[in-house]
Amino acid sequence: MATPETTSETRCFGGIQKTIRHASEATGTEMNVSIFLPPQATTGPVPVLYYLSGLTCTEENVTVKAGAQQHAAEAGLALVMPDTSPRGLDLPGEHDDWDFGSGAGFYVNATEAPWKDHYRMYDYVTEELPALVGAYEPIDTARAAITGHSMGGHGALVVGLRNPDRYASISAFAPIVSPTRCPWGHKALGHYLGADRETWSAYDASLLVTNPHPNEILIDQGLADGFLEEQLKPELFEAACGASGQALRLRRQEGYDHSYFFIATFMPDHVAHAAKALGLR
């Protein structure tokens, strides 16, 4: 594992906000990661909350828009916020649509050409990223939680449900809860995984939750979200949780849309959700 390069670093809420760049084995590209280290990290490794971003985003959006650092600093929680796809490849069709390809890796391991050699974001998030930050930052990756927004909410649910022993809590903002049953998911999974829809189920939280996570899942969903009915469909996950016995706190928020204003409003609750599960509160 090559030593990452620090490309920016600044003081923030008594801690350090930084961006690193590293050569990724999972994607075969250079990847950027935004990291917040709380003040408590100066005395030893701290627990971590991973945040997975949504369509079109980079690691920068959540860093500058969500206001998570203040709450993470108070809790003694590191934030690790990766990019949403490989960059710099220029694969055929990679940049044609905003909801597929560049900026839209969907946190899967692609099996179809030309994506399969680089679009391996599931392995990147679950294996390479924890190993990287655990080796080079004062972060205790054995004490982890995960959250995300939209496509990243889908990623957080899938990653957390498939690895319940590695993530003490799961939460999400306006997640795509069932990509096998929405247009965004059909497009992404069809291209990345192929026509056999049986393979898609490994990345559908509403199907994975038949094996519940031991802790309550928190979801916030704005009722003024323009993607609510066609793409997000929280009622599908709600029904699946009811059938499996998964504890779920689904909060439908009147008047809120899909933006970072919505995320920033409820970010304190999601940091607190993770902090409680990690024994920080």
Q: Where are the domains of the chain?
A: 5-277
Please state whether beta strands 78-82 and 46-52 pair in parallel, antiparallel, or not at all (unpaired): parallel
Residue carrying structure tokens 């930084």:
18
Mind listing the pLDDT tens digit for each residue in 59-89?
999 999 999 999 999 999 999 999 999 999 9
Q: What is d(CA 97, CA 4) in angstroms, rounded to the nearest whole number? A: 31
Q: What are the residues whose beta carbons fall under 8 Å from the beta carbon of 132, sequence distance 6 or more?
A: 1, 4, 22, 33
Token representation of residue 256:
């809120």
Within the chain, which residues score under 50 in pLDDT? none
Q: Residue 204 catalytic?
A: no
pLDDT of residue 164: 98
Q: Residue 258 catalytic?
A: yes
Could you say which of 150, 169, 178, 206 is catalytic? 150
Report the candidate in 97, 31, 96 with the shortest Cα–Cα distance to residue 59. Answer: 31
**Cis-peptide, bond into residue 92, ω within 30° of zero:** no
Could you say which of 24, 225, 270, 273 is catalytic? 225
pLDDT of residue 185: 97
Could you say which of 154, 191, 258, 270 is catalytic? 258
Q: Residue 244 catalytic?
A: no
Averaged pLDDT score across all residues of the chain: 98
Q: What is d(CA 214, CA 131) in angstroms, rounded to the nearest whole number? A: 24
Report the candidate in 9, 39, 244, 46 with the shortest Cα–Cα distance to residue 142. Answer: 46
pLDDT of residue 2: 78
Fold of 5-277: Rossmann fold (3.40.50)
Mind listing the pLDDT tens digit for each residue in 242-272?
999 999 999 999 999 999 999 999 999 999 9
Q: What is d(CA 223, CA 252) in angstroms, rounded to the nearest whole number? A: 6
pLDDT of residue 93: 82
Q: What is d(CA 271, CA 220) in angstroms, rounded to the nearest whole number? A: 13
**pTM, entire model:** 0.98
pLDDT of residue 134: 98
Q: How far is CA 261 from the centre of its chain?
A: 18
Strand partners, 218: 171, 249
Where helices occur in the chain by DSSP H, the ranges are 59-65, 68-75, 121-123, 129-136, 151-162, 183-193, 205-208, 234-244, 260-277
Report whether 124 contacts 132 (CB < 8 A). no
Token representation of residue 51:
């945040």
